[in-house]
Amino acid sequence: MTQVTHSSDVIVIGGGPAGATASALIAQAGYEVSLLEAQTFPRFHVGESLIPAVNLTLDRLGVLDQMDGHGFPSKHGVQFYSPKGAGRPFYFSEATDPRMHQTWQVLRSDFDSMLLDKAVENGVTTFMGTRALEARRDGDRITGIRATNGHDEKLTFDAPVVIDASGQNGVVARRLGRRTGVPDLENLAVFAHYRDARLDDGIDAGSTLIFRLEAKSWLWFIPLPGVVSVGLVAPSKTIWSYGDEPESVLDAAIGACPHLMERLDEASRTTDVHVARDFSYVAQQEGGEGWLLAGDALGFIDPVYSSGLFLAVYSAELAADAVDDAFKAGGPPRFESYAASYRSAWDRFLSIVRAFYTEGFHFGPLAKDADGRQGLVDILTGDVGTPSADRVARAISATLGG
């Protein structure tokens, strides 16, 4: 087996949105970056709904103007359905920041490739089909990565900084990040794409629709180019009451939701039914000497408010800036507390996710108050630092007893 060694300033594990964003920004700042991605692109991935705060990162990357050219549907809001019918829509045009008045629904195969192409354009060296195996360590300090590829090569990557953006795999995160599950969010998702679904008209055509089945089970409906994404999220312990296989589970859940069924009565499934499990977790340690986590390697809450991609690219931005600051400061790079503002955003979203799954909790009273509705809209857009968002988060926490 051939032994090959590569050296650079930074190693990024994972070529998804977090890894591509972090590597593109670090390379833009003038550093040499090696990006390791186990798969080849394009590839299917769930997590197709953006929230408007992602626009700010896309603008910084220089890809915001490309979004419409990819044919991604514009997303202007979110519509929630109870078993009784539709509630009042939340429109992003109500957001405090005018840059957050709309965003997009994306095919991840196209979106992820666009971000990775930007990283390459900025000078990142990509190693596709290269799987990171383990971190190389000198005491508590990480000094590189051991990896392998499909060419019978044993690869060694050396760098003073390693960013783990490898998602749930968490090559570094699982060993050093002390990952734990999020209590009371032990859910499982089954999902697929459908064509010929019925969409709403006008600006509502691209809205995310959330259909609640019962307190802890719900379905998503996300318009994409030529298809829609439909998925069920339910507790891992009870989801199989819908059926014995993923296909029968999803079919039964859709059949139990008349408001969704009427949109799919002439639709046909175009993909296999995929399963995602054990997806709610958080790393207790976000970094250390020579290493830091970003994206889903750092944590993931729940799909219900589409916070995943926002938190992924936001943490990647923070990671890139922390790396730049560390190199400019000199000395051993340390990253034990680089993501304080990420943790704040995480807490905001976690509060409304917990509220969504709490039986008997209703957002209606908050939404009827002008400041409460403003806070909810701000959180749903990802503008989590506004005074209204803070007051809403505190009110929810007090109601839930947390």
Conformation bin of residue 135: beta by default, left when phi > 0, alpha when psi is -120 to 50 = beta
pTM of the model: 0.94
Among the residues of 153-213, which ranges form H helices?
173-176
pLDDT of residue 140: 85
Residues of the chain within CATH 3.50.50.60 domain(s) are 2-62+107-181+280-343
Q: In the CATH scheme, what is the homologous superfamily, with its name and number, of domain 2-62+107-181+280-343?
A: FAD/NAD(P)-binding domain (3.50.50.60)
pLDDT of residue 402: 58
**What DSSP line would sit under 107-133, residue for residue?**
-HHHHHHHHHHHHHHTTPEEEET-EEE
**Where do the DSSP E strands lie in 225-371?**
227-235, 268-269, 274-277, 281-283, 287-288, 291-293, 299-300
pLDDT of residue 103: 97
pLDDT of residue 374: 92
Give whole-number Cα distances, 159 to 25, 32, 333, 347, in Å.
17, 10, 11, 32
Residues of the chain within CATH 3.30.9.100 domain(s) are 187-277
pLDDT of residue 45: 84
Q: Are strands 2-7 and 153-158 parallel, antiparallel or unpaired?
A: parallel
Give me the residues of the chain with pLDDT under 50, please.
none
For the domain spanning 187-277, the CATH number is: 3.30.9.100
* Cβ proximity of 105 and 224 under 8 Å: yes
CA dihedral 311, 317, 320, 322 (to 10 degrees): -80
pLDDT of residue 2: 66
